[in-house]
Amino acid sequence: MSGKYIHLCLLDMPTVSHNNYGLWAYPANQHPRYKDLDYWIEVARLLERGKFDAIFFADVLAISEGYGNGPGVALREGMHVPNIDPFLLIAAMAAVTKHLGFAVTGSTTYEPPFGLARRMSTLDHLTKGRVGWNVVTSYLPGAARNFSLDQQISHDERYEIADEYMEVVYKLWEGSWQDGAVLNDRVRQIYADPTKVHRINHVGKYYQVQGPHLAEPSPQRTPVIFQAGSSDRGRRFAAEHAEAVFVGGYTMESLRRNVADVRAAAAAAGRDSAAIKIFSELRVVVGRTEEAARAKLADLQGMSRADGYLAHRFGSGMDLSPYARSEKIEDIIAAGGPGSDHIKRYPFPPGITVGEIFDDAARLDRKLMFATGNPVQVADQIEAWVDDIGLDGFLLVQHTTPGTAADFIDLVVPELQRRGRYRKEYEESTLRERFLGGGNARLPASHPGAGYRRLGN
């Protein structure tokens, strides 16, 4: 084996178009069947055939309205709307698989912790320990109005809420039911020992939760914690809580720096930084030959649409649609106005114009982690990124379904297996063990959630 195994999840969302705007209309694309349970069963079986770690479900709780001065662009492009609840898909997908994991997005800002804790425990039971939770604080302003708030809670306060939220769910998952609480004693007709089931009696700034947890301990107790915050505050939250981190960057250097920052912050928080798995987005167009891949890319590129990407990028920030194509971004920022602080986050080169941003948005080959070519060329690039940047794996973005994943499974996976960089068979029984090794279904001792276990757990 030439290096560590590469972890792979499929990035998805039960909506028309997710991170591949315009391509929902591609003739072979099945993603518009997102409302059909048979479709998700087909996806689950495909990913298990490809030995994927998990499917990672993104989610949003509002429509992106920042670009185009309203919801029109997002609705026209099918950009994250309409969508359905990803939680409800997992049990059916688990029923037709034995190994595939499921990471699902849940908001700490709008979902009460007691209800989410029970839902995650339910899924962990039904999947026999194959569930992870992608912790988000929800960035779209419209989500606040959808959940009865007059205005969006500030960014940093949303993370303060999230910190207390995690304390509540750790108490429910790790401390409410002791090991051995479930007796299932048919002779004495005692199911659970009341002396080993405890109220948590949490009283904090944001939550008051009595408990006990309604679900008995599931195989992992606490689901694998995923997190994708890119701000300084988000990375600090990830360093304390996350076991798998989705890291982005606008350049290779910023991506490499963000990976190093997450590991350093985790070590500073007293955690084993090697136990945190770091993922980045991956886009692949692969063919049996380089020429076939380039033809496939040209075919896809012909249907890619800029408006969906722009609505996604600027969905909660600055609206560039009213500006002339010739205007420079630096002049727009200097003039101030709504969203100018948001757009400063993007490392646009000096002199770039609105028109250049519009033209570039739909270019599939301009995305940061994009690889194309024959299987050897794509595998070479993936290996180089893992080894150079310090990544543990990728979230594969789909251009079409099942085309992207099927091509990767049929062409790239065998090449990675030949190199010893990808599993040939599943071995682990839970999602956490897939990341940490057999016998590690529970939170590691260095994780803060483990501190809520009761004596004897």
Query: Which of 321, 342, 361 is the C-terminal boundary of a domain?
Result: 361
- Considering the domain architecture, whether residues 50 and 91 belong to the same structural domain is answered as yes
329 membership: H or E segment, kind and range: helix 329-335
Is residue 210 assigned to a domain?
yes
- Considering the domain architecture, whether residues 30 and 174 belong to the same structural domain is answered as yes
**Alpha helix segments (H runs only) across 230-314:** 232-241, 252-268, 290-301, 306-313
- Considering the domain architecture, whether residues 318 and 171 belong to the same structural domain is answered as no
- Considering the domain architecture, whether residues 204 and 310 belong to the same structural domain is answered as no
Q: Report the C-alpha gap between 243 and 132 in whole angstroms.
A: 10
Contact by Cβ (8 Å): 145, 60 = no
Tell me the pairing of strands 190-192 and 54-57. unpaired
- Considering the domain architecture, whether residues 318 and 264 belong to the same structural domain is answered as no
The domain of 148 spans 7-304+367-452
Is residue 2 assigned to a domain?
no
C-alpha closest to that of 280 among 389, 375, 360: 389
Is residue 1 assigned to a domain?
no
Q: Report the C-alpha gap between 313 and 303 in whole angstroms.
A: 19
- Considering the domain architecture, whether residues 17 and 60 belong to the same structural domain is answered as yes
Buried b (16+ CB within 10 A) or exposed e, 281-298: bbbbbbbeeeeebeebbe
Query: Which of 361, 378, 395 is the C-terminal boundary of a domain?
Result: 361
In this prediction, residue 180 carries a pLDDT of 96
Per-position DSSP letters for 356-377, written without gaps between them: HHHHHHT-GGGSTTEEEESHHH
- Considering the domain architecture, whether residues 273 and 224 belong to the same structural domain is answered as yes
CB atoms within 10 A of CB 201: 11
Bridge partners of 8?
Answer: 394
- Considering the domain architecture, whether residues 277 and 395 belong to the same structural domain is answered as yes
Question: How many domains does the chain divide into?
Answer: 2
Is residue 457 assigned to a domain?
no
Tell me the pairing of strands 277-286 and 244-246. parallel
In this prediction, residue 412 carries a pLDDT of 98
Q: Report the C-alpha gap between 248 and 368 in whole angstroms.
A: 9
In this prediction, residue 1 carries a pLDDT of 39
Is residue 400 assigned to a domain?
yes
For residue 347, say if its preceding peptide bond is cis, omega within 30 degrees of 0.
no
* Dihedral angle, C-alpha 249, 255, 258, 262, nearest 10 °: 110
Q: How far is CA 25 from CA 22, 47, 203, 371, 381, in A?
A: 6, 23, 51, 23, 29
Residues 6+ apart with CB under 8 A from 191: 182, 183, 184, 185
Bridge partners of 286?
Answer: 373
Q: Which two tokens stand for residue 194?
A: 């009341």
Contact by Cβ (8 Å): 44, 97 = yes
9 membership: H or E segment, kind and range: strand 7-12
Residue 154's Cα: distance from chain center in Å? 22
- Considering the domain architecture, whether residues 258 and 328 belong to the same structural domain is answered as no
- Considering the domain architecture, whether residues 353 and 377 belong to the same structural domain is answered as no
Q: Report the C-alpha gap between 31 and 50 in whole angstroms.
A: 19
In this prediction, residue 274 carries a pLDDT of 84
CB atoms within 10 A of CB 380: 15
- Length in residues, the chain: 457
- Considering the domain architecture, whether residues 299 and 342 belong to the same structural domain is answered as no
* pLDDT tens, per residue, the chain with 457 residues: 346 899 999 999 999 999 999 999 999 999 999 999 999 999 999 999 999 999 999 999 999 998 888 999 999 999 999 999 999 999 999 999 999 999 999 999 999 999 999 999 999 999 999 999 999 999 899 999 999 999 999 999 999 999 999 999 999 999 999 999 999 999 999 999 999 999 999 999 999 999 999 999 999 999 999 998 777 888 889 999 999 999 988 889 989 998 999 999 999 989 988 889 999 999 999 999 999 999 999 999 999 999 999 999 887 677 888 889 999 988 888 888 666 776 776 778 889 998 998 888 999 999 999 999 999 999 999 999 999 999 999 999 999 999 999 999 999 999 999 999 999 999 988 999 999 999 999 999 999 999 999 865 4
